[in-house]
Amino acid sequence: MQYPAHIEFVAPARSYPQIWRLLLGLLLALAIYGLGIALVFGGIFLVSGPQGMEQWASEMVEATGPTGTLLVMATFVGMAVGPMIAVLVFHRRRIRSLFGPLPRVLRHFLAAAGVCALVYGASFLIPNDVAIEPAMERALWLSFLPMALAGVFIQTGAEEVLFRGYLQQQLAARFKSPLWWMVLPSILFASLHYQPSVMGDNALYVVAAAGLFGLLAADLTAKTGSIGAAWGFHFANNVVAILIVALDGPLSGLALYVAPISAAAAEIRPLILLDMGTTVVTWIIIRAAVARA
């Protein structure tokens, strides 16, 4: 499966496609990600001292408060920067080649996010048995909203640059089969969502949902020749899940509403399956929309 736009997207990676370069690039990206996390904690230490850092570290683990959740999102800056440095050092290509043509990135980001807003808005009209309740006062939520949107933008952009940009490009430059450049990054992406300590028996369902999203995002990237559509898809999805209605527990600190149910509860499994179905429908519509954008 090779779309003309994907061939163009992968072309900058073909000059230095060796797997050893990719492996070293991933190690470098991991080190920079770790350095980014260390810088966040270092900043907290400078501002709050050792006792404050211990308190904020606990807040970040729980991520049930707005500031703690924002700090968690700040750690993704290192994940975004890592692949950018890796392509410069090991693949001798420009950082912007990770994104695709920037006008197309912007158009497709907005088109995908717009489609998601319509589909997810309609999905809220589908009756279900899970009640939601206010989590933050609206005025407080609005005061955090600009920083929260920036945080989700960084978090989703970092993951797209790494998985649909760097990994997909370099693997496609080396291997023709989508099993390598489409399925393998999606498996790695899904594995990062495996949290049995938080999600209990639902952990594998969440991994399946994340893996499905990864495959669909990889397809959008291949179809369009940029990460714009996948990024807009990811951004809108996380805005809904993190900023609008969150499950009670980690990463609920910036949500306007919360569903007072544990991520490990068996009751949410039908919702995960419904979400997977909504994801597929959204992908189909985004595919049609970006063809015209």
For the record, the structure tokens of 96 come out as: 């912007």
- For residue range 162-205, what is the model confidence (pLDDT) as tens digits? 999 999 999 999 999 999 999 999 999 999 999 898 889 899 99
What's the average model confidence in pLDDT over 45-74?
84
Apex 111 CA angle, 109 and 120, nearest 5? 100
Beta bridge partners of 259: 247
- For residue range 209-253, what is the model confidence (pLDDT) as tens digits? 999 999 999 999 999 999 999 999 999 999 999 999 998 878 888
Determine which helix (DSSP H) or strand (DSSP E) holds 193, and give its type and residue range. Answer: none
Give the pLDDT of residue 106.
Answer: 97
Give the pLDDT of residue 61.
Answer: 78
- Residue 121's domain spans which residues? 4-290
Residues 43, 54: Cα–Cα separation, whole Å: 13
Grouping H, G, I as helix, E, B as strand and the rest as coil, residue 93 is coil
Give the pLDDT of residue 128.
Answer: 67
Asked if the model's pLDDT at residue 110 lies above 90, the reply is: yes
Give the pLDDT of residue 278.
Answer: 92
What's the average model confidence in pLDDT over 140-149?
96
Q: Which residues, at least 6 apart from 257, have a Cβ–Cβ distance to it below 8 Å?
A: 132, 133, 134, 135, 244, 245, 246
Count how many domains the chain has.
Answer: 1
- For residue range 251-286, what is the model confidence (pLDDT) as tens digits? 888 999 998 888 888 888 888 998 999 999 999 999
Question: Highest-confidence range of 38-52, 120-134, 144-158, 241-255, by mean pLDDT?
Answer: 144-158
Asked if the model's pLDDT at residue 144 lies above 70, the reply is: yes
Question: Considering only CA atoms, which of 52, 48, 76, 71 is closest in space to residue 61?
Answer: 71
The greatest distance separating any two alpha carbons of the chain, rounded to the nearest whole angstrom, comes to 55
